[in-house]
Amino acid sequence: MSKKNKPIWGTRISKRTPGIFEKVSSSIHIDKRLYKEDILASIAHVEMLNRQKIINFKVKNKIIWGLKKIQNQIIKKQYLFDYKDEDIHMSIEKKLFDIIGEDAGFIHTARSRNDQVLVDLKIWMINSNNKLIKMLDQTIKNILKIAEKNIYTIMPGFTHLKNAQPISFAHYILAYVEMFSRDKQRLINNFISLKENPLGSAALSGTSFNIDRNFTTKKLGFKIPTGNSIDTVSDRDFVLEFLFASSVCAMHISRIAEEFIIWNSDAFKLISLNDNIVTGSSIMPQKKNPDPLEYLRGKVGSSYGNLYSMMTILKGLPLSYFKDLQDDKKNVFESFDNLSDSIKVLNEVLKNFSINKNEMLNLANKGYVTATDLADYFVKNLNYSFRKSYQITSKIVNYCEKNKKKLSDLSIIELKKIEPNTKDDVIKVFDLKNSINSKKSYGGTSFENIKKMIRKYKNA
Ligand code: ARG
* 39-77 confidence digits (pLDDT tens): 999 999 999 999 999 999 999 999 999 999 999 999 999
| 366-459 is a CATH 3.40.630.30 domain | no
Q: Which residue among 25, 205, 265, 281 is the active-site one? A: 281
Q: Is 117 in the pocket of ligand 1 (CB under 6 A)?
A: yes
Among 6-15, 22-31, 276-285, the range of highest mean pLDDT = 22-31
Ligand 1 centroid vs 109 CA: distance in angstroms?
Answer: 17
Rounded mean pLDDT of 202-224? 98
Q: Supply the pLDDT for residue 19.
A: 79
Q: Is 325 in the pocket of ligand 1 (CB under 6 A)?
A: yes
In 371-400, which positions are buried (b, 16+ CB within 10 angstroms) versus exposed (e)?
bbbbbbbbeeeeebeeeebbebbeebbebb
CA distances from 361 to 116, 154, 166, 239, 431 (A): 59, 6, 9, 46, 12
Ligand 1 centroid vs 319 CA: distance in angstroms?
Answer: 14
Smallest CA separation from ligand 1 atom 1, residue = 87
pLDDT at 116 over 80: yes
Residue-wise pLDDT for 418-439, tens only, equals: 999 999 999 999 999 999 999 9
Q: What is the mean pLDDT of the chain?
A: 95
Smallest CA separation from ligand 1 atom 11, residue = 323
User: What confidence category does residue 3 fall into, taking pLDDT thresholds of 50, 70 and 90?
Assistant: low
Residue-wise pLDDT for 334-370, tens only, equals: 999 999 999 999 999 999 999 999 999 999 999 999 9
Q: In sequence order, what are the beta bridge partners of 158?
A: 163
Residue-wise pLDDT for 220-266, tens only, equals: 999 999 999 999 999 999 999 999 999 999 999 999 999 999 999 99
- The CATH label, of 1.20.1630.10, 3.90.660.10, 1.20.200.10, 1.10.10.10, for the domain at 114-208+227-362 is 1.20.200.10
Query: Model pTM?
Result: 0.94
Rounded mean pLDDT of 78-83? 94
Residue-wise pLDDT for 386-396, tens only, equals: 999 999 999 99
Is the distance from CB of 139 to CB of 349 less than 8 angstroms?
A: no
Q: Is 306 in the pocket of ligand 1 (CB under 6 A)?
A: no
The atom number, within ligand 1, closest to the CA of 325 reads 12
Rounded mean pLDDT of 154-160? 97
Other beta carbons within 10 Å of 104: 21
User: What confidence category does residue 5 fall into, taking pLDDT thresholds of 50, 70 and 90?
Assistant: low
Cα distance between residue 363 and residue 234, in whole Å: 56
Q: What is the CA radius of gyration of the chain?
A: 31
Q: Is 326 in the pocket of ligand 1 (CB under 6 A)?
A: yes
Q: Supply the pLDDT for residue 1.
A: 41
Annotated domain spans of the chain: 8-109, 114-208+227-362, 366-459
The class (CATH top level) of 8-109 is mainly alpha
